[in-house]
Amino acid sequence: MTKKNIYLILAILGFVVPYYFFLQVPGENGFDLPRLLQPMFANNLLKGVAVDLMISVIAFWVFVFAEANKLEMNPPWLYLLATLLVGLCFAIPLFLYFRERKLETGYSRS
């Protein structure tokens, strides 16, 4: 199995698995965004995890724009949207899948 196929499988899993849980939220307590975010900062451990995730997201976005520009991959904002609508578990393998596809087909440096 190629890296590209592994990335595609991880992207699919990274979309399906979180949404399995996300779609259960409105049935449990409705969709109250402040109430949904409150447990993320309930204690110092969870605050640390949340901050770690936020810094990882920013680092990923910086990498995406630099790498997408270097490899002439369009549109880089797609991966930002994937991060915001699903999460890093979907956006990272999705980006890596398309990056591998681009590297397979070659790219021209200007």
Mean pLDDT of the chain, nearest integer = 88
Whether the Cβ atoms of residue 89 and residue 18 lie closer than 8 Å to each other: yes
Q: How many CB atoms lie within 10 A of CB 10?
A: 17
What does the pLDDT read at residue 74? 83
What does the pLDDT read at residue 29? 66
pLDDT digits (tens, 9 = 90+) for 49-61: 989 999 999 999 9
Is the confidence at residue 23, as pLDDT, over 90?
no
The percentage of residues in the chain with a pLDDT greater than 90, rounded to a whole number, is: 63
Separation of alpha carbons 13 and 10, rounded Å: 5
